[in-house]
Amino acid sequence: MHLIGLDVGTSSTKALVVDDRGNPVGRASGEYPVSTPRPNWAEQDPDWWWNAARTAIAGALKCSGVDPVDIAAVGLSGQMHGTVLVDRTLRSVRPAIIWMDGRSAAQCEEIRGRVGVERLAELTCNPVMPGFMAASLLWILENEPRSLRRARRALLPKDYVRLRLTGDAATDVSDASSTLLFDVRRRRWSEALISTLGLSRDLFPEAYESPAVTGEVSGEAAAETGLRRGTPVVAGAGDSEAGAVGCGVTGPGVISSNIGTGGQLFAALDRVEVDRRLRVHTFCHAVPGRWHLQGAVLSAGLSLRWFAENLGHLERLVGCLSGADPYDLLSQEAARAEPGCGGLVFLPYLSGERSPHMDPDARGVFFGLRLGHTRAHLVRAVMEGVVYALRDCLEVFRELGVRVDRVVARGGGAKSRVWLQIQADMYNAEVATVEAQEDAALGAAVLAAVGAGVYRGVEEACGEMVRFTEGVAPDPERARIYDRYYREVYRHLYPSLRPFFTKHGN
């Protein structure tokens, strides 16, 4: 018996075929761009996702050699917050507005004014930010009313792929939590909030718990993907929640630290906890009956990519000539600089920042640069700055009483030994990784296994399908260095610079 996990990401869609013990037997992916037709806009054609998904599924099946009859179920994961409008023919009305879009700042203010910050916190447990579905739908309502009149459903990105797979419009409670239109405490759409914003409740599909079966692969989709017609498709989860499942973060005491394009710190909860200052998010977990806190850093791995593309010409050249990964070479250079970089500190706010500042005007900064600093210090400062930003989120978690017994590293930050050690030292906690290369796709497959009845629950499935590697322990001296720089320098920089960010935000 085998499962498929499909992860609809920002730059590619990955398909992973695993057996019922989580062992990968086939994988494939399809890539696509992000369209920026105007400054501060970020869009994708939903059919890019579907074309990549059908290519990836077919490729993963071929790679695995598994008979499609042996696929027990398909699970879905995907980039969160995005807005896809489909008409009565189930095709997209306009390009999807995705999570990194910033056009709806005025609509965010409008939502705060109409609903009130306290009421929003009570209903959604989250701050209002551009790129979230509520703000994007208001922007469409005010700027493209014809598009909204044509729309039959408003879907999240992975749910458009579900629609093409099964013909059914549905979502799950974790992804719906990220729309700012969902009652997170009660795990259902907020009809009061939807009505207040002048939207129709009929736009929004039923929200299921993540392991629930929402439909079956249609004959048309079977012909396009190679899957068996009638294969169950489960609700799945947003990529943060699916990734947490894929690295075993299902209950209190264990948090995940993800350094991908963006970064997330994730802590599972048995009950709803909300930061009154709304510095972090509270969403439904993919584990039924649980929630989670999430701190979101917008430019995590993106900060190192910026450095590589603009200041890493040597590594890129060597990589082209030798086949070496330029990011491995940058990591090796960072290892030559001492922890703390002799006082050089980097603020990774290249795209504004979400947690804990919720400030789209925040900007990146190198602070403390001296003649004695080298290029190695600059690289390491960028890597440390990303983890300082995640440490900001961890401090909020601790204020809310979150216990941290163990940290599981995810994303590109889990592949660099230097970044792993920085995380262990910065959090002053052991940091483990998982064997799976694609944790969100594996998490989707875990949810599929539960939906197919292979396991009775998500935690049981994780116990059988998720395997950890040896952890990295913190070094006490480095932990003291980072704690001092964090408390004496890093956490004071943003408040000091904020007036200048606001004044010169553009």
Q: Give the whole-angstrom CA distance, residue 157 versus residue 172.
A: 12
- The first and second tokens of residue 308, run together, are 């590589």
Instruction: Provide φ and ψ at 482, rounded to 5°.
Output: -65, -40
* Closest C-alpha to 177, from 195, 189, 193, 163: 189
Q: Is residue 67 annotated as part of the catalytic site, yes or no?
A: no
- The first and second tokens of residue 276, run together, are 């009154």
The answer to whether the CB of 344 falls within 8 A of the CB of 367 is yes
* Catalytically annotated residue among 239, 275, 392, 439: 239
DSSP code string of 6-65: EEE-SSEEEEEEEETT--EEEEEEEE---B-SSTT--EE-HHHHHHHHHHHHHHHHHHHT
Which segments of 388-504 are extended strands (E)?
404-411, 431-432
Cα distances from 81 to residues 72, 336, 506, in angstroms, run 29, 39, 24
The answer to whether the CB of 102 falls within 8 A of the CB of 83 is no
Tally DSSP H helices, then E strands, for the chain. 19, 23
* Closest C-alpha to 80, from 268, 266, 306: 266
Q: CA 420: distance to chain centroid?
A: 19
Q: Give the whole-angstrom CA distance, residue 245 versus residue 173.
A: 15
Which segments of 93-222 are extended strands (E)?
96-97, 153-155, 170-172, 182-183, 188-189, 206-208, 213-216
Who's near 467: CB < 8 A, 6+ residues apart? Answer: 22, 434, 435, 436
Catalytic residue numbers? 239
